[in-house]
Amino acid sequence: MTLRYLKGEEEYENFFIETEPCPELSKVTRPRTLPLLTKFETSKGEKYIWTTFSEDQIDLNFKNEKVLLKIIELILFYVSKRAKTIRLDAIGYLWKEVGTSCIHLKQTHKVIQLFRDILDIVAPETILITETNVPHKDNISYF
């Protein structure tokens, strides 16, 4: 995906979050001290891409319905291979909104609820674990 995005393939446009450095990004809760944005050379010029954890972990843009569908497809692939437990690592950072802390946003909760609803239909025995580093009562609020 990343290379196809960098090459400018239309299918991968908006798969990642492009934004210019700005003061509003200082509100973002960070688990690490590495830069929030990483500069990449693309076929359309230099772009700053959101990288919450590190430059080799590029954040997906869940505002793009193609991204959401690809992730659902991936979850269903694992279920089709008999996965019984799916752990969503660092899920509290899924949704990005400039000017917010970008952690535990309501949109993230909605995405996780959608994943659970889909699994309840196709594989209700599948356990979905949200790794959020918050107290249990806050963690289960995702469901």
Residues assigned a catalytic role? 89
Angle between helical axes of 65-80 and 106-122 (0-180°, round to 10): 40
Q: How far apart are CA 67 and CA 75, in angstroms?
A: 12
Buried b (16+ CB within 10 A) or exposed e, 122-133: ebeebebebebe
Residues 31, 65: contact at Cβ < 8 Å?
Answer: no
Q: How many CB atoms lie under 10 A from the CB of residue 111? A: 20
